[in-house]
Amino acid sequence: MFENLRRVVVGVISASDGNIWLAKRQAHQSQGSLWEFPGGKIEPGEGAMEALQRELYEELALQVNPADCRRLIEIPWRYQEGGVRLEVWRVERYQGEPQGREGQRLQAVPISALGEYPFPAANRAIISALQLGERILITPEPPESADKWPDYWQLLQQQMARRQIATAILRANTVTGVEAYRRWAELGAQLLRVAQPDRVLLRYGEAPLAVETGRHLTSVEVVGLNRRPEESWLGASCHTLAEAERAVSLGVDYILLSPVLPTQSHPGAITLGWQRFGEICRQLPLPVYALGGLTESDLPKVREAGGQGVAAIRGWSI
């Protein structure tokens, strides 16, 4: 599906205040008048880092050190005029003052506001990766007594703050009934959103909450749906490439791919392993999170395999 793609390097450049530098394509260019993250084609015989350094100097007059850059995401994409594989790097520091050396307009934008700008279609996954972050918390089972839910949520909020977790999936198999789940989830969503307003929160099920949330789909729901539900954020759990491709066709914003490693909850289950996880990631044009037997220490392996980050229940122990 995504073979013989033109390699393109992209820099997501952090300004000193944490905002992200964008460039506006000129009207006469392909994808004209849209905003983009700076970058360009990787030339034959050139490595990705060499291309990133060259492009950022040619376009913005910036010098970057490889030690200040890390892989963010790879995005295979096909436009009518041809296919590209975006190799996206997060640039944390640079030397120089950004200049539009090719006449392009530059603007530094908060991560939370990136969705308000028009981008080429392939760039949307970069925005999702930035806003979702590298860590996704899947909530552990709550106490049976509702009286203990406030303390439970307070502990989770503290854990998310310590780990810098931007996204939470509100999962509770032991809270039975739509109304009980709604009370539990709304209590937590209100606390988490007050503590950090731009957090991405996702619920299970169709019923909306009083607090703005997206929705996370099970693999069974992915197979059963024919179109994307109207949600601000939509994610999906997948276990195979076929399920993941189905989720992509629905227009999900991210995928949890599992199980990568053996887990306590499913001993003896067949696992993907790092090689297969990486093979699937390279076929998907959106952030993919590794799930199953993983912790914070596995983030480098996930990045190396082409994933966006780690999703975990026990891995972010409270």
User: pLDDT value at position 107?
Assistant: 96
- Which residues span the domain enclosing 120? 6-131
206, part of any domain: yes
Residues 208 and 309 occupy one common structural domain? yes
Q: Is the pLDDT of residue 41 over 70?
A: yes
- Looking at the fold, whether 272 and 171 belong to one and the same domain comes out as yes
Task: Give the domain-ending residue among 83, 103, 131.
Answer: 131
What is the pTM (predicted TM-score) of this model? 0.93
Question: pLDDT at residue 1 above 70?
Answer: no
Residue 153 lies in a domain: yes
End of a domain among 107, 131, 155? 131
The pLDDT value given to residue 317: 62
Instruction: Please check whether residues 140 and 39 belong to one and the same domain.
Output: no
- Domain contains 1: no
Across the range 5-23, mean pLDDT stands at 96
Q: Where residue 66 sits, what CATH number does that domain have?
A: 3.90.79.10
Residue 108 within a domain:
yes
| pLDDT tens readout for residues 225-256 | 999 999 999 999 999 999 999 999 999 999 99
Count of domains forming the chain: 2
Residues 100 and 28 in one domain: yes
Q: For residue 59, is it within any domain?
A: yes
DSSP secondary structure code for residue 207 in this structure: S
DSSP characters over 43-111:
PTT--HHHHHHHHHHHHH--B--GGGEEEEEEEEEEETTEEEEEEEEEE---BS----TTS-EEEEE-G
211 in the same domain as 108: no
Structure confidence at residue 29 (pLDDT): 74
Domain end among 109, 131, 153: 131
The mean pLDDT of 55-59, rounded to a whole number, is 97
